[in-house]
């Protein structure tokens, strides 16, 4: 059976300088062309969205591996975002939760594969859309214009505060202003968001690995003394304290909590008790995790946090 023809992509403005605007011809791994193309499609359609995930931590300066282009979309605009990408020729997955390609990620609201059927699953990785409220509930809606220099939440991927280099992959370094840079979270707000999700998914089997990997990547950026991408004073509490326990060995040792494991468990119990922590998206408990009361006693945390 012949493969149905793709809907022609809309004409691109000349300053985008895309060499291959047809999404069917993009390379298997996410690269600047795909990132810029999706950003342009959504922005032209007035869909507020921003890039996030391991691709963003690479832009910040980490050496995290990534195989997906992940986007947070304003909740009310998700239907429009899906329509725009469908009409542009991206291939929507039809398998829903039966799709095996996203199992290392939080389940997306919609996702698109580069190749629908291939014996090498890695060539099927593509674009993943998420409602913003799921993981970034405290973020304002991203702007449809370039963020202002003093925006606390958003910046462009061409911002001079970002490193102009990247570990072994030129496709995720700081972009030039002429290359249609995309909107991304500021490093401080992103670290706070992923740490919150890591705490939220403290006990669950599915999802905690992803958030912990993002948390590790951001902490490594925070402790990198050779860049100014992210500094401790950029963080709000309680994440300033958590960051200090991770990067200041003397401070962490004096607190008996270098690495912040005790403080992270405290935040989980305290925020949960105060109703400040939404339930995790998955329910199955991590079978390798010791019972929470045992951990609380070991760390010397107040047992009334368990009530």
Strands 110-113 and 91-92: antiparallel
Residue 108 phi, psi (nearest 5): -80, 160
64 confidence band (pLDDT: 50, 70, 90): confident
Contacts of 62 by beta carbon, 8 Å cutoff, 6+ apart = 54, 167, 217, 218, 220, 221
130 confidence band (pLDDT: 50, 70, 90): very high
Q: What is the pLDDT of residue 228?
A: 82
Q: Cα separation of 111 and 102, whole Å?
A: 9
Residue 93 phi, psi (nearest 5): -75, 140
| Averaged pLDDT of the chain | 82
Q: What is the pLDDT of residue 179?
A: 56
Q: What is the pLDDT of residue 100?
A: 63
Q: Which tokens go with 272?
A: 């949960």
Q: Cα separation of 65 and 88, whole Å?
A: 27
Contact between 184 and 44 (Cβ < 8 Å): no
Q: What is the pLDDT of residue 263?
A: 97
Q: 103: closest CA among 115, 95, 28?
A: 95
Residue with tokens 């199992």: 103
Task: Summarize pLDDT for 162-218 with one digit per residue, the tens.
Answer: 887 555 444 444 444 555 789 999 999 999 999 999 999 999 876 788 999 999 999
* 5-19, 131-145, 191-205: range with lowest mean pLDDT: 5-19
Q: What is the pLDDT of residue 114?
A: 66
Task: Please say if the pLDDT value at position 73 is more than 60.
Answer: yes
Domain assignments of the chain as residue spans, ordered by start = 14-185, 188-306
Task: Please say if the pLDDT value at position 83 is more than 80.
Answer: yes
Task: Summarize pLDDT for 30-52 with one digit per residue, the tens.
Answer: 567 778 888 989 999 999 999 99
Q: How many CA atoms, within 13 angstroms, populate the side-chain half-sphere of residue 90? A: 25
Q: What is the pLDDT of residue 242?
A: 98
Task: Please say if the pLDDT value at position 17 is more than 70.
Answer: no
DSSP letter at 46 equals T
Q: What is the pLDDT of residue 134?
A: 97
Q: What is the pLDDT of residue 254?
A: 96
The total of other beta-carbon atoms located within 10 Å of residue 196's CB is 23
DSSP for 140-178? PPPPSSPPPTT-SSEEETT-TTS-S--SS-GGGSPPPGG
Task: Please say if the pLDDT value at position 22 is more than 70.
Answer: no
Contact between 157 and 174 (Cβ < 8 Å): yes
Task: Summarize pLDDT for 237-254 with one digit per residue, the tens.
Answer: 999 999 999 999 999 999
Contact between 95 and 84 (Cβ < 8 Å): no
Q: What is the pLDDT of residue 102?
A: 59
Q: Cα separation of 77 and 136, whole Å?
A: 15
3-state secondary structure of 75: helix
Q: What is the pLDDT of residue 168?
A: 46
């Amino acid at each position: 059976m012949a493969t149905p023809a793709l809907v022609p992509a809309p004409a691109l403005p000349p300053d985008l300088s895309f060499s291959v605007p047809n999404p069917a011809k993009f390379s298997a791994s996410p690269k600047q062309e795909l990132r810029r193309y999706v950003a342009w499609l959504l922005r032209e359609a007035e869909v507020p969205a921003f890039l996030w995930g391991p691709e963003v931590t690479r832009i910040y300066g980490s050496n995290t591996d990534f195989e997906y282009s992940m986007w947070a979309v304003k909740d009310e605009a998700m239907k429009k975002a899906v329509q725009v990408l469908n009409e542009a020729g991206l291939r929507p997955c039809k398998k829903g939760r039966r799709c095996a390609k996203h199992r290392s990620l939080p389940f997306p609201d919609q996702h698109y594969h580069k190749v629908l059927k291939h014996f090498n699953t890695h060539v099927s990785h593509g674009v993943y859309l998420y409602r913003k409220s799921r993981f970034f509930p405290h973020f304002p809606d991203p702007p449809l214009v370039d963020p202002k220099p003093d925006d606390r939440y958003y910046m462009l991927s061409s911002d001079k505060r970002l490193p102009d280099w990247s570990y072994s992959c030129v496709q995720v370094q700081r972009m030039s202003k002429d290359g249609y840079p995309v909107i991304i979270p500021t490093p401080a707000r992103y670290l706070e968001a992923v740490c919150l999700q890591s705490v939220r998914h403290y006990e669950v089997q599915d999802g905690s690995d992803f958030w912990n990997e993002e948390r590790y990547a951001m902490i490594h950026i925070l402790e990198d003394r050779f860049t100014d991408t992210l500094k401790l004073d950029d963080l709000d509490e309680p994440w300033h304290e958590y960051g200090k326990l991770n990067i200041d060995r003397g401070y962490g040792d004096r607190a008996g909590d270098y690495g912040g494991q005790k403080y992270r468990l405290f935040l989980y119990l305290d925020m949960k008790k105060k109703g400040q922590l939404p339930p995790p998206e998955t329910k199955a408990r991590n079978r390798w995790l010791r019972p929470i009361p045992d951990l609380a006693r070991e760390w010397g945390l107040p047992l009334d946090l368990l009530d």
